[in-house]
Structure 1
Amino acid sequence: MLNKLSESIALKLNHEFGDDYKIYTESVKQGLKEPCFFIFLLTSSQRQVIGKRYFREHPFDIHYFPKSKEDKNEEILDVLDRLNDALEYITMDGDLLRGTNIHHEVIDDVLHFFVNYNLHVYKEKDTADFMESLQIGSGLSKG
């Protein structure tokens, strides 16, 4: 499910920004092409609500590396505006997920856009195969 969630964010970013912006979900050692986004899942958590229902929290940090060398701040603010609107809602498996706890930071000329996608899940219990029949015998044996 986490891969689908990351893919859904990438699809929404691609829809908003187009193919001119590279989107990474894995670390890149060489050949970083700017402008680009990195999608990182931070520390996720899960807690049982009741029975087989669980609440999962998925905080993401989306890094944006600007292309401009001179007007980085202006470009970052423009992208930030678009991210606020684009990532408020994403679609995963036909379901609409709302981003919460949206905030940002700029560190070393890189925009860090934080958003949580939290959801309830229902865990199906595995059904065990039952025995068809069981015969139990009792008695004394002469030995």
Structure 2
Amino acid sequence: MSEISFSSIYDGVSLALHAAFPSVQVHGGNVKQGLNPGDLNVIMPSAGNTRQVGTRFLRTPTLDVIYYPKEGMAECCEMAETLVHVLEDITTPAGDLVHCTRCEWSVEEGVLHVLVEYDHHVYTPREQDLMETLDLEMEG
């Protein structure tokens, strides 16, 4: 198992979308022009890194997969159902399988937002601070 990073989760989601929808444009981040109905956009609005025990951390990346429908609400509901299944398990570029721990979707201003979370634990190695050698001199 390789190190799972925020960017590898992001890339894994993008790869899953490309595999499931080969004819759809999958964008990443702020797109100033070129978005068309039927396109997907992936952003990471938040991520957390919480210390657990020792060098163990809980990472909580949240990704927003945005779908711009061609028609209306019915298309958004159908796409939401498909995206929930596509994103429940992703594979990072290094080959690690990561499971979705939470998924919810909503339609805001006619655009579908599927929020997915991939909580996972990582170990961050750190150098040990060793104590200096103490020399005792005893008299008597």
TM-score, structure 2 length as denominator? 0.81
Contact 1:21/1:34 (8 A) holds in 2: no
The structure that has the greater radius of gyration is 1
Instruction: Tell me the residue number matched to 2:7.
Output: 3
SS of 1:94's partner is: coil
Q: Matches of 2:124 and 2:24 in 1, distance apart? A: 37
Q: Which runs of 5+ in 2 are unaligned?
A: 130-140
Instruction: Tell me the residue number matched to 1:85.
Output: 85
Write out the 4+ residue segments of structure 1 that deviate beyond 4 Å after TM superposition.
Answer: none
The reply to whether residue 61 of structure 1 matches residue 64 of structure 2 is: yes
The reply to whether residue 41 of structure 1 matches residue 44 of structure 2 is: yes
More relative contact order in 1 or in 2 (CA 8 Å, sep 6+)? 2
RMSD: 1.6
Equivalent AA in structure 2 for residue 53 of structure 1: R
Shift of 1:47: 1.1
User: Cα deviations across residues 93-140 of structure 1 (Å, max 9, x unaligned)?
Assistant: 222111122111101110000110111111122479xxxxxxxxxxxx
Instruction: Tell me the residue number matched to 1:13.
Output: 17
TM-score, structure 1 length as denominator? 0.80
Q: Which runs of 5+ in 1 are unaligned?
A: 129-143
The reply to whether residue 22 of structure 1 matches residue 25 of structure 2 is: yes
Matches within 5 A, 1:112-123: 112-123=113-124
Shift of 1:26: 2.3
Q: Matches of 1:3 and 1:59 in 2, distance apart? A: 12
Equivalent AA in structure 1 for residue 73 of structure 2: N
Q: Matches of 2:128 and 2:95 in 1, distance apart? A: 27
Q: Matches of 2:62 and 2:31 in 1, distance apart? A: 21
Q: Matches of 1:99 and 1:23 in 2, distance apart? A: 20
Number of aligned positions between the proteins: 124
Q: Matches of 1:56 and 1:31 in 2, distance apart? A: 33
